Structures are given as C-alpha cells and as structure tokens.
Amino acid sequence: MAQVSIKDIQNFATQTAHQVLNAFPREYQVTLQFQGESQNYIRLNRNRIRQSTDVLQGYWSALVEQNQKTLEFHWSTSWDKEQDVHFVQSQILPQLSFLDQVDSQSKKSDSPHQGHVQSQVIESQKRPNIEDICAELEKLNVDCAGLLATGFQWASYFNSQDTCLWFAQDSHFFNYSFYTEDPLGKPRAIQNLYFNRDWNFDELSQQFADGKKQLAAYRKAARVLPKGNYRAYLSPTAMREVMTCLFFGPLSYNRYKKGDSFLHRLIDKKVTLSPKVSITHDLSKRLAPFFNSWGEIIPDQIPLIQNGELVQLLVGRKSAELYGVTSNHAPSDTDGTEYPVSLSLAPGKLEEKDILSQLNCGIWINDLHYLNVSQFDLARITGVTRFGAFWVENGQIQEPIEDFRFDVSLYDLWGDHLEDFTSRSYTFPHVDTYFARKFGEVTTPGALLKQFACVL
C-alpha cells in the first residue's frame, strides 16, 4: 500500500476486523486490536541525509475466550482483507481446540462499553521539510547527527460485542546532537529534541542557535568536579530522563501490593514531596490512545501526585478484581502491572530568562543518561551526565564539566532540595523506535535545585 492516509488505514482496519470477527463461531468471544505506523525515518550525519526509510507496518492481535479460558494470537497484516481473513481461518481457527488445555482467568473480552463506537484522529497541519533543516544546519556551520521521524501511528480495539475504538495521531520529532572537540581534541556534544505536531521551523531554528551557543563553551577545557553537593539546574531534557523512572512500575497499584514500588514510602504517607510537585497521567496532548487493552476509556487526566502528596495510583481492571479497589482504567500489561503512557509534571514560577542568575554558582545540566534505581527503599536514582554539563559562576556559563555520576533520592530531588520549576513546560514524545514508534510523552519543566550530589 503506497501513499496511504489515516482514513485509508481506518477503513481497512474496520472492514477487516468485521470480517475476522464473523469468521469465529458465535460461541467464542473475540477481541481484536490493530496497531501500526506509517512513518518516514530520516537519519542525518554531518548535516547530510544518510538514510531515508518509509515504514508502513500493521500488526493484529486477537484474544479468543470461551468459559473464561483464553488464547492469544499475533500476526502482521498482509494489507489485503481477504488474505488476513484467510490467515485467521486457516491458521488460528484450527488452534481453538487448545482452549480446553488452558487455565481459567479473568474475563477480558467483556468490554464495559458494549456496542460503543468512538474515533479520535489528530492530524498535523504543518510538516517538516528535511531540506530546510539541512540548509539551516549548514548555515550555522555545525556538525549534526540526528533522526527525523514524521508520520502517523494508530491503535484500535474491536470485539464481538460490536465495540469499535479507533485512535490515530500524526506528529513529528527531530532527535539530534551537535558535535565538536574541546582543546584537548576530546569529542563533545550537545543533545536536544524538537517536537511540535504542527512543525514550526522558526522554533527549531532558535533551538539550533541556542545549541550552537552552548557548544561554544567547549572551547575551554573541561573542569573536573570534586565529589560533593552543588546547586544545579536540570533542563527540561534532563528532567525528562528523571520522569522516565516513573514509567516502569512505581505508580502501579499491582506492583505496590506486591511490594515492588520504590515509591512505597510516599504511597504509605511516610514521606511527602515539595508542595510544588504535581504529577498527572495526562492524555490531553493526544499522543497516546484514549482506551486501554480492555476496551475501557482512559480518563483524559488521572491526578497521581498533587501538591507533594500521592492522591492515587494507576489502577487497572486486574488490580480492581484482585484487591477490591476502584479501577481508574489505567493501561496495564498482561500480568496486571499498570503503567503510564503520558505523564505531565506541573510547571513552577521560575522564568527561563532568570535561570542563570538564580542558579548563580553551580551546575547547568542539559541531559542525563543511564538512569536506574540505586537504593529501592529510599527511591534513590543514579546516572551520569553527558551532552552538555557546564559550570556556572556569577550567573554565567564558564566552562564545561567532565561527565560525572550522580546519586540522589527522588524524595530529596522533589522534596527539600527543590527550589523551583520553570514556568514553561516542554513536551517530549517517546522517541523509542524499536519494532515501531512508541506512543506517549513526557511534559516537564526544568528544575532549579538547592543541591545535587556528584559522587564519582
């Protein structure tokens, strides 16, 4: 299928799903999901296009249930309705006899919105032009490597109770780095990410110009920081990395009940965060589906932490059944672990123009890497600085800093050590493209900290 539109994909999915569902005997309850992407991925190196790849892929999953016993199947679409239906008839239907051999489990195909039909399609009004990007990079005389992703993703849910849910979103990002060398010939870089559903070339050009200014700081030799605590500013890009720690289970009710949430002290009300910290599961940016794998409609906003206190965890259907709590229809995986897809950290009052003067003397950190939990009970995270860490004195960037390892508790980072967040937040889509581009995003401001621990 060449040059397809979102509408083409939706029509194909709806028609194919209808035929596939009708292929199953009526004694089975069937859930179908169809996800995929139509993307153009362009890789740049030294400001030149090195690879341009058009990707059109779609993949089906089917959950077949009878007497609370289920089988699950996955296959890639052929983009031909008759071939997809024939695949189901010849490869899947003969395997339904294995249902008798599986254990009973929660009823999954019983959608709470039987017969519900809803569609949400968000299209871009302005798309990027790679030639303009390359020309701007040449004009600035910088050495750039990066990935431009442009196109749309979709997800859908169909079942044998006539439920039909469709989501598609069209957006673009440029994930890139500027490279240079310091006086000792050591490679240095500034990393950044630009995102805007309606591409704004002037915004991108300004981001390029700001990055080149930061790159100029590498003309000086890097300072080696002694171990210790320093005032610090974490840019929104760095804060995005901190926020990713929340995507791997600490806000899951299921994980909490199993003793596997490193935020358990916050959940148990043994600690609180700064009243400046409010975190919400937020689908308002429309970068992730409005429904979960059960066919339940996810609220646009699920407040998780408000004014420093946890108000609720992500609760899916399995947790609701197991623990007798109310579900907030959070996304969850097959073992019942809830996970966020889109998180938003509320901004503060610090104006961007005042960041350097308010920092005065300390560390400016553009990016963080290799974050992981270093001490479970204290919610400590560790990682390293890379791509743009600078020493600041008298409100001015003085010189770059050699990469260092940090180790800090989130209870401190978002607690007593937090001075303020910036008044402007930035949205960062997930840039993972393994197998397919990932849904969701992080929206976060930058953070000014009273202290930040350099440990190595």
CATH number for the domain spanning 97: value is: 3.30.2290.10
Place of tokens 């194919």: 16
Mean pLDDT of 106-122: 73
Last residue of a domain, one of 150, 184, 215: 215
* 18/167 same-domain check: yes
Q: Considering the domain boundaries, does residue 1 fall inside one? A: no
Shared domain check, 340 and 322: yes
Average pLDDT over every residue of 164-182: 95
Distance CA 348, CA 53 (A): 40
Contact present, 402 and 454 (Cβ < 8 Å): no
Q: Is the pLDDT of residue 9 over 80?
A: yes
**Rg of the Cα trace of the chain?**
24
Q: Are residues 42 and 141 in the same domain?
A: yes
Q: Are residues 204 and 283 in the same domain?
A: no
Domain count, the chain: 2
Give the residue from 168, 199, 215 where a domain finishes: 215
Instruction: Flag whether 191 is in a domain.
Output: yes
Residue 140 lies in a domain: yes
Q: Report whether pLDDT(4) > 90.
A: no
* Distance in angstroms (rounded) separating the CA atoms of residues 166 and 305: 30
Q: 55-74 pLDDT, tens per residue?
A: 999 999 999 998 888 899 99
Strand-pair category, 309-310 with 228-234? unpaired
Q: Is the pLDDT of residue 456 over 90?
A: no
Instruction: Enumerate long-range contacts of 51-54, CB under 8 Å, 24 or more apart.
Output: 52/130
Strand, helix or coil at 107? coil
Mean pLDDT over residues 150-155, rounded?
96
* pTM recorded for the entire structure: 0.94
Would you say the C-alpha torsion 14, 18, 24, 26 has a positive or negative sign?
positive
317 and 269 assigned to the same domain: yes
Identify the pLDDT of residue 106. 57
> Computed from CA positions of residues 356, 238, 362, 309, in that sequence, does the dihedral angle turn out positive or negative?
positive
Residues 153 and 228 in one domain: no
Name the residue among 330, 327, 329 with its Cα closest to residue 251.
Answer: 330
* Co-location of 245 and 137 in the same domain: no
- The span from the CA of 17 to the CA of 263, in Å, is 41
Separation between Cα atoms, residue 210 and residue 426, nearest integer Å = 16
> Could you tell me if 169 and 246 lie in one domain?
no
Residues 165 and 274 occupy one common structural domain: no
pLDDT tens for each residue of 343-358: 999 999 999 999 999 9
Segment 410-420 shows an average pLDDT of 98
For 330, the domain range is 222-454
Are residues 268 and 355 located together in one domain of the fold?
Answer: yes
Residues 152 and 182 in one domain: yes
